[in-house]
Amino acid sequence: MGFDIEKASRAELRDIQDQRLEESVTAVYENVDLYRKRLDEAGLSPSTIDTTALTAVPFTTSADIRDEYPDGLFTVPTGDIQRVHTSSGTTGKPKIFGYTRDDLDTWSKIIARSLETSGFESQYTVLNPCKYGLVSGGLGWHDGLEQLGATVVPSATADMDRQIELIRDLTVDGLICFPSFALDLAGIIERQGGDPTELSISTITVGGEPTSQELRAEIAEAFDAVVTEHYGLSELFGAGIFTECEECQDGAHVWEDHFYPEIIDPRTDERVDDGEEGELVLTSLSKEAMPLLRYRTGDIATMTTDECACGRTHARISVTERMRNGISIDDTTVYPTEIESTFLTEPETAPYYRIDLQRTGQHDAINITIERKQGLDVDQSELADRLHERFLAELSLSVDEITIATPGTIDRTLGTKANRVYDNRE
């Protein structure tokens, strides 16, 4: 399924993109006031836009979606909407996203393609502990797994003991989860005296929060499994829309027949070159109910259009962080994944940590607590000294205090996004 398109030439992909872009732009021009107004103001019309001319189109932002709440960006009447999802919306109105029947079919096929790409097979039994509800994660994966033909275990509502019991009793092959869920699962099994590598799980895909390659390697080792990362965004369908391939695990293939990706410099708004870091901007090419043009994701990424060793031609994107996760310390900005990536190359550290920020006078203090690995004889002060030096040399980050903690003392998140940063500054 879908393998031909995954290896289409870049020129063939460009043709598909230009054609679908024109359809999307026509749909929003005819049905969405906001887009008609903006395109008119920019002197653009559906027939004049192709992927090279896309740079003239104004960005769509998160604020635009909030302003058009609930259905100002829909291109179809409510009766044609088959489902809505929302953002998590912890404060104020959540963003609302609409899907037609065709959108749900397209999305489930995209996810099934991603699942196959990252090594899942139709005869697998797969545990899906992602929450099913307003947020797109659980249902998105569920529909994609059904499309793939796998046996789905919708374990969202179960506690950890039940999850472990289901993995054992149903001989689960695959797992889709937050990286912290995989870590918690391995940790609990080990504390129960078990060995996660002896479980039947062979294939794991993690997402929902950015992780370093080092953290994914930790999970792979814990389960003796293939671990890939996926990326999704409810503004453009939702969970699992691009994915690392099982073979190379070197950037997530963005399915370019459905999405047009750009990386821009967030200060100049100009496109940057392949391999350079910037903000990920996405245009939907096949979304029916709510197509978005040049949506600023707020995620920091690099992109390459080099053909992957797996033979797939679709560009690969490495999302390194969320811009909003950036920690400003005095004059520098540092990201949790950079910190994680640094200390996880030390053999004595476990992937559990917290970052505490405090204001002391004119100075921002940053304290990092990292668990040491179970069962190793660690010289704690020597390890802390070494990490002080590495953070300074590699990240230009002067850490005020590094604490090496006893295994198991950092809070586990048990099925939700991990909280790494505790900012106690005013």
Q: Closer to its own copies at the Cβ: 155 or 205?
A: 155
Under the binding rule (CB under 8 A), the answer on residue 174 touching its own copies is: no
User: Smallest gap, in angstroms, from Cβ of residue 33 to its own copies?
Assistant: 19
C-alpha torsion sign, points 48, 50, 56, 57? positive
Chosen residue from 2, 72, 154, 298 binding its own copies by CB under 8 A: 154
Number of continuous H segments (helices) and E segments (strands) in the chain: 11, 19
Asked whether 320 and 194 are in contact (CB, 8 A), the reply is no
Chosen residue from 8, 16, 34, 158 binding its own copies by CB under 8 A: 158
Which residues lie below 8 Å from residue 72, measured CB to CB, with a gap of 6+? 32, 33, 34
User: Smallest gap, in angstroms, from Cβ of residue 123 to its own copies?
Assistant: 4
User: Smallest gap, in angstroms, from Cβ of residue 292 to its own copies?
Assistant: 20
Asked whether 346 and 387 are in contact (CB, 8 A), the reply is yes
Asked whether 27 and 291 are in contact (CB, 8 A), the reply is yes
CA distances from 78 to 70, 84, 127 (A): 11, 10, 33
User: Smallest gap, in angstroms, from Cβ of residue 70 to its own copies?
Assistant: 5
Under the binding rule (CB under 8 A), the answer on residue 153 touching its own copies is: yes
Nearest-CA neighbor of 194 among 161, 227, 228?
Answer: 161
Q: Closer to its own copies at the Cβ: 125 or 313?
A: 125
User: Smallest gap, in angstroms, from Cβ of residue 97 to its own copies?
Assistant: 12
User: Smallest gap, in angstroms, from Cβ of residue 22 to its own copies?
Assistant: 28
User: Smallest gap, in angstroms, from Cβ of residue 298 to its own copies?
Assistant: 23
Q: Is the peptide bond before 154 cis (omega within 30 degrees of 0)?
A: no
Query: Mask: binding to its own copies, 64-93, rule CB under 8 A, as x and -?
Result: -----xx-------xx-xxxxx---x---x
Chosen residue from 4, 41, 169, 411 binding its own copies by CB under 8 A: 169
Determine the size of the site formed for its own copies (CB under 8 A). Answer: 41
Per-residue burial over 103-127, b if 16 or more Cβ lie within 10 Å, else e, is: bbebbbbbbbbbbbbbbbeeebbbb
Give the integer Cα–Cα distance in Å for 217 and 45.
Answer: 48
Helix (H) or strand (E) holding 304: strand 295-304
User: Smallest gap, in angstroms, from Cβ of residue 101 to its own copies?
Assistant: 8
Helix (H) or strand (E) holding 394: helix 380-395
Chosen residue from 24, 155, 286, 349 binding its own copies by CB under 8 A: 155
Under the binding rule (CB under 8 A), the answer on residue 199 touching its own copies is: no
Under the binding rule (CB under 8 A), the answer on residue 317 touching its own copies is: no
Q: Closer to its own copies at the Cβ: 157 or 192?
A: 157
Q: Find the length of the chain.
A: 426
Chosen residue from 15, 161, 165, 221 binding its own copies by CB under 8 A: 165
**What DSSP line would sit under 167-231, residue for residue?**
HHHTT--EEEE-HHHHHHHHHHHHHTT--GGGSS--EEEE-SS---HHHHHHHHHHHTSEEEEEE
Tally Cβ neighbours within 10 Å of residue 101: 13
Piece in contact with its own copies (CB under 8 A), picked from 28-36, 154-162, 331-339, 410-418: 154-162
Under the binding rule (CB under 8 A), the answer on residue 287 touching its own copies is: no
User: Smallest gap, in angstroms, from Cβ of residue 73 to its own copies?
Assistant: 14
Nearest-CA neighbor of 6 among 110, 92, 148, 90?
Answer: 110
Asked whether 351 and 338 are in contact (CB, 8 A), the reply is no
And the tokens for 73? Answer: 């960006």
Tell me which residues in 238-257 interact with its own copies (CB under 8 A).
none
Helix (H) or strand (E) holding 382: helix 380-395
Query: Mask: binding to its own copies, 116-145, rule CB under 8 A, as x and -?
Result: ------xx-x-----xxxxx--xx--x---
C-alpha radius of gyration, the chain, whole number: 22
Q: Closer to its own copies at the Cβ: 203 or 318?
A: 203
And the tokens for 380? Answer: 């704690």
Q: Closer to its own copies at the Cβ: 122 or 305?
A: 122
Q: Closer to its own copies at the Cβ: 125 or 302?
A: 125
Nearest-CA neighbor of 307 among 346, 274, 342, 344?
Answer: 274
Chosen residue from 156, 182, 219, 236 binding its own copies by CB under 8 A: 156
Give the integer Cα–Cα distance in Å for 249 and 184.
Answer: 23
User: Smallest gap, in angstroms, from Cβ of residue 415 to its own copies?
Assistant: 12
Chosen residue from 157, 192, 268, 360 binding its own copies by CB under 8 A: 157
Report the interface residues with its own copies, using CB under 8 A: 69-70, 78-79, 81-85, 89, 93-94, 96, 101, 104, 122-123, 125, 131-135, 138-139, 142, 146, 149, 151-158, 162, 165, 169-171
